[in-house]
Structure 1
Amino acid sequence: MEANRIYNFNPGPATLPLPVLKEAQAEFLNFRGSGMSILEISHRAKEYAAMQAEAKADIKELMGLGDDYEVLFMTGGASTQFAFLPLNFASKEHPGSYVLSGSFAEKAYKEAEHLGIGEIVASSKEGGYRHIPTQDELKIDENAAYVHLCYNNTIYGTEYHYIPDTKGVPLFADMSSDMLSRPIDFSKFDFIYAGVQKNLGPAGVTLVVAKKSFLEKSPEKLPTMFKYETFFKKDSLYNTPPAFNIYMVGKVAAWIKSEGGLAEMAKRNKKKADRLYGVIDASNGFYRGHAEKESRSFMNVTFRLPSEELEKTFVAEALAQGLGGVKGHRSVGGMRASIYNAMTYEGVDKLASFMEDFQKTHA
């Protein structure tokens, strides 16, 4: 680990690849020979245009998508997309259908419900969001405008390990916390979005990857900045974009490519997750995982200890060992280790070893 840096297990804003941070540091004062920082350069400059085009191309290449898809860079986080989706696509005749698998899936549904154009087609809330609803649990409405999923649930530590069959209804997904973490058939999704601050970059930009047919025309009644059409037709440049954040997303995408692409990310992420879940499963109940095994996330490992007092001790002692951000979300308590692409196996192994030693001391 680099001097004076900790292993950062925060769920977002989250750790970034060290080579990316160093690259950005090296060119911070002079971006591509412009004599200006990326923080200063015009979004109309040729240097910026080339950078954004490269970022878009790398993202589509990693996802294996063709010219029928477009990449947008927006603001407002995934939470703003929760409202944009029903506003742009749903109606009373064709409501948005939502699968509830965690807090953010629920928040997305509530925005559509508030507009009177949302419905629930499956939910694991009653069981404490411990599992991902299965295909058999989905009650697809053939008149729905779309079926919406939250593909990875950071708070509860659950993740989809299958792509639902929606019977021809367009499939939309919030992939904020597992975007570009493994190869999946992205072409089965019509609309994907992600707040990048978990697995792809710094907070401040929202990535949208969608079929052009969903972006080409928005309802006339919507304000200009609420229309996907606005961002699509102006190449995300209708107004000044968050240039630095987009630049960083491009850097991360290029880093993923250089490291071996999504197949290599999946291999690394599974190895990291297996190490931590192995400790939990071998602890004889000292560590209790929140998620059911078949729904476990490769991105966010959530677990409890025998008491809240012991959990406080765990957090303090972990930080003293250079392991930060392991406290769980306030709504569920316990611990959460976020092991996104940029988290190294060395960091995960150190946390796992700490967990083993902590159990020996405190069991």
Structure 2
Amino acid sequence: MSGSPVRGAGAPHIPVLLDEVIEALAPSGEAVVIDGTFGAGGYTRALLAAGPDLRVLAIDRDPTAIAGGQGLVAESVGRLTLVPGRFGDLDTLAEEAGAPQVQAVVLDIGVSSMQLDTPGRGFSFRHDGPLDMRMGDTGPSAADLVNEAEEGELADIIYHYGEERRSRAVARAIHEARRRGRIETTAELAEIVASVVRAEPGSHIHPATRTFQGLRIAVNDELGELVRALHAAERVLAPGGRLAVVTFHSLEDRIVKQFFAARSGRAAQGSRHLPGATTAEIRSLSPVTKGPVLPGEAELARNPRSRSAKLRAMARTDSAVPPPLSAIETLASLPEARRGGPRR
């Protein structure tokens, strides 16, 4: 099942760690399951196939994904509800759809293959297209950010969200380039970045990779959405319900790891990320997986994009929902200490 391409918004997509996700969620009976990142419907199809009485509430902020999933809605004969929206609001969206509590939630974080491979979406420098990067159809685009943000803010975004050590040089190059004219395409931006960031010897990673990642995360508030989704899933899960999260880079995984550690009691005292945590407020989740689950050799060979994927899963306990973790919210934002401070 995990090897079958799923067609959604006009492009093939292979869901990552699919079998492992279904095993971690263990859906059964007449469960209601939330797929918070519908995309091309890979996880949703597998969930629908896991039991004849399972119902799936699938969410996506991308109108193209919602439109592309209508055929699956028809096939599912009332078992699938597609909802346009952000997965950070999944508990509210579930309640509005008549499911105030659910038995499982799955989140596949980051950009989808369809978005990366569609030049008009502007996510990738591999295809020249408009510098957009929006997962939805509202709000400022990457072009707006690149052309209007202050140089220091750009450096912060590229350094923190893109983990680009040459962020200051990249921001300066962007600032100089936009003085000659507005930067409108992915090829223009990639060329600007490549002028100051050199490819590492023997590496197949394009010099603009980290800059594009940082801008995309900022445009879509991806880390903020992830934090809100973790708290929302905690609220909407029934006791014993399970949450599975698949991440693709260290910033996402750090947030999930720290949230799970705090809520399961493993970071009760002494975590530098969660200095205010106490044992009394953090046992709302219990581990399902021991640490991260990684793709096997067969999946890596079949789908190279799975190489950085990590799956972590937790089960909801019967304790009351604790207050939101402000320290986790801090992990999703640009550190104030870095603003105005040294950048490379």
| TM-score band w.r.t. shorter chain | under 0.3
TM-score (norm: length of structure 2):
0.27
Between the two structures, name the one with larger relative contact order (CA 8 Å, sep ≥ 6). 1
